[in-house]
Structure formats: structure tokens, C-alpha cells
């Protein structure tokens, strides 16, 4: 039967998946991005040394210089790591709040079409507001410290969670709903045993997008609201104004690394939660 060979590729069974083919598989997953990475580093050097003449080299410092000044220098490193920690904390708090609000709203909207129709336009409106436009308002209401940074983070990362969770909750097929109707299942049972599990793949898709956005949100918030611990946004701002090319690039690299880690983390959870039954088209994390 076709089922048995399907099973073999999933189960980490050493007998049916020989180590050699696994190594080949791993190298196929690692080599393409590694190759492209090397090519990009090459391009970077090419621009630094060949395209830019000496006195304009500050526009793009060579990569080893960035690593040396940005990460190897003890003072700079401490500063970067503190900023990283501050931004990570804001991103995680913001993301948790966005997840709570997003889940709650999506579950409420999934219970009645009328509620969905009432709330949804406002969600779209909120999503469409440029953060820049409300920065003054946010600072009036919440000050210029961590609270405001979290607010920005939530505003930026909320929408994909709501949309994907709602879409997921509504994705259970009518036939499956009929089964639950025939057996007089309560709303709660239906939500718990049908709508929520059916929604999991979509929920994780939303979480991965929002996780990345929450990092952006934390850094953008930090860029505008710098009171208290300096996050990566403050570092970016400071280094940009002082034309510190190496430190600036180091901060950029750090912020995208944070985004990648958070994205990968949720990809990993997704695989743990739905990989056995759902054919996810997911990037290997």
C-alpha cells in the first residue's frame, strides 16, 4: 500500500531512512542558502573595495571590519547585547499581547458573522494607519518609554494573527460541522475539537509573520521612544547620526538575526504541532 512508504519518510526510523540519504538531504537543504550567502559576501567585498574608492568606503565597510568593530570590540559588544536584550524583551511582550488580543478577537468573530462584520473593517483601518502618523498621540498617551514601544509593537504585529486565526477557525469543512451538529456538540466542544485544531496550520502561518513583525515593531518603537533602556532602534539612530558605518551595519545584522531566530522558533513549534498530519510548505528552520 502507498501508506507504508509515506510513513517511512516521516518517522525518524534509522532502519528505513539510512544515514547516507539523510546526510545527502541535509546537504541539499544547507548548500543552496550557503552558496548564495557566500556569493552575497563576495558582492559585499566587491562593492566595498572595487566600486567604492577609499574616501567613500564609509558607505559600505567591508564585512570583516563590521565584525571586528561591531561585535569583537568589547564596549560595542556590551552595548549591542544590551540593546538586543531590550528589543527582544519588548518584542516578546508585544507579541504575547498581540497573540492574546488576536486570538480573543478571532474567536469572538468566528462565533457570529454579525460580529465579524462589525469588527473587521476597524481591524483593517487600524492596520492601515502608518505608525509615523500616530507617534505623537502614542507619546501623549503612553509617554516615551517602554509602554509606547510595546504599543507600537502590538499595532504592527496584531493584524496577521487576527486574519490568519479567523481564516483558520472558519476553514473546517461544512461536512465536519454537520457531524458535530448531528451529535449536538456544544459551542465549546465544536471550538475545541473542530475549529481550533483545523485552524492550527493557519494560526502558525500568522504567528510566524507576526513574530517577525514584532521584532520590527520593537525596533521601530525603540527608534521613536528611547526613554529607559536603549534598544536596537536607539543604537541605529545614534550610529546613523554619527556615521558609524560598522556599528550601524552590526545593529542591522543583529536585528535581522533576532527576526530570523523568532521566525525559526515558531516554524519549529509548528512542525512539532502539526507536522504529523499536515503537509506544510514550510521553510526548514
CB 82 within 8 A of CB 234: no
Q: How many CB atoms lie within 10 A of CB 111?
A: 15
Decide whether 59 or 179 has the Cβ nearer to other proteins: 179
Q: How far apart are CA 26 and CA 9, in angstroms?
A: 14
Smallest distance, other proteins to C-beta of residue 179, A: 6
Decide whether 104 or 181 has the Cβ nearer to other proteins: 181
User: For residue 258, what is its C-alpha cell?
Assistant: 533576532
Q: Which of 129, 150, 154, 128 minimizes the C-alpha distance to 224?
A: 150
Decide whether 77 or 113 has the Cβ nearer to other proteins: 113
Contact footprint for other proteins (CB under 8 A): 1-3, 6-7, 173, 175-176, 178-185, 189, 193-194, 197-198, 200, 274, 276-279
Decide whether 1 or 50 has the Cβ nearer to other proteins: 1
Q: How far apart are CA 128 and CA 25, in angstroms?
A: 42
Smallest distance, other proteins to C-beta of residue 273, A: 9
Q: In the chain, what is the straight-line distance between the N-terminal and C-terminal CA atoms, in Å?
A: 32
Smallest distance, other proteins to C-beta of residue 134, A: 40
Q: Which of 228, 223, 272, 224 minimizes the C-alpha distance to 248?
A: 223
Decide whether 55 or 183 has the Cβ nearer to other proteins: 183
Smallest distance, other proteins to C-beta of residue 210, A: 22
CB 165 within 8 A of CB 202: yes
Smallest distance, other proteins to C-beta of residue 6, A: 4
Amino acid at each position: 500500500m502507498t501508506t507504508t512508504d509515506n510513513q517511512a519518510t516521516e518517522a525518524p526510523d534509522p532502519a528505513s531512512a539510512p544515514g547516507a540519504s539523510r546526510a545527502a538531504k541535509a546537504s541539499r537543504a544547507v548548500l543552496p542558502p550557503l552558496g548564495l550567502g557566500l556569493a552575497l559576501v563576495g558582492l559585499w567585498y566587491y562593492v566595498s573595495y572595487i566600486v567604492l574608492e577609499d574616501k567613500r568606503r564609509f558607505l559600505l565597510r567591508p564585512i570583516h571590519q563590521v565584525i571586528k568593530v561591531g561585535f569583537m570590540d568589547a564596549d560595542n559588544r556590551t552595548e549591542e547585547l544590551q540593546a538586543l536584550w531590550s528589543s527582544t524583551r519588548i518584542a516578546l511582550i508585544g507579541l504575547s499581547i498581540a497573540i492574546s488580543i488576536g486570538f480573543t478577537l478571532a474567536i469572538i468573530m468566528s462565533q457570529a458573522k454579525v460580529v465579524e462584520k462589525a469588527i473587521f473593517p476597524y481591524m483593517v483601518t487600524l492596520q492601515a494607519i502608518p505608525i509615523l502618523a500616530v507617534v505623537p498621540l502614542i507619546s501623549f498617551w503612553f509617554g516615551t518609554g517602554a509602554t509606547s514601544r510595546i504599543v507600537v509593537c502590538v499595532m504592527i504585529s496584531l493584524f496577521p494573527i487576527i486574519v490568519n486565526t479567523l481564516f483558520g477557525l472558519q476553514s473546517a469543512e461544512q461536512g465536519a460541522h454537520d457531524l458535530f451538529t448531528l451529535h449536538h456538540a456544544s459551542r465549546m466542544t465544536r471550538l475545541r475539537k473542530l475549529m481550533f485544531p483545523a485552524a492550527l496550520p493557519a494560526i502558525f502561518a500568522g504567528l510566524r509573520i507576526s513574530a517577525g513583525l514584532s521584532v520590527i515593531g520593537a525596533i521601530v518603537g525603540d527608534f521613536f521612544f528611547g526613554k529607559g533602556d536603549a534598544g536596537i532602534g536607539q543604537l541605529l539612530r545614534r550610529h546613523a547620526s554619527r556615521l558609524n558605518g560598522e556599528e550601524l551595519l552590526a545593529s542591522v545584522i543583529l536585528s535581522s538575526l533576532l527576526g530570523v531566530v523568532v521566525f525559526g522558533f515558531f516554524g519549529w513549534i509548528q512542525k512539532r504541532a502539526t507536522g504529523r498530519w499536515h503537509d506544510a510548505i514550510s521553510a526548514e528552520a
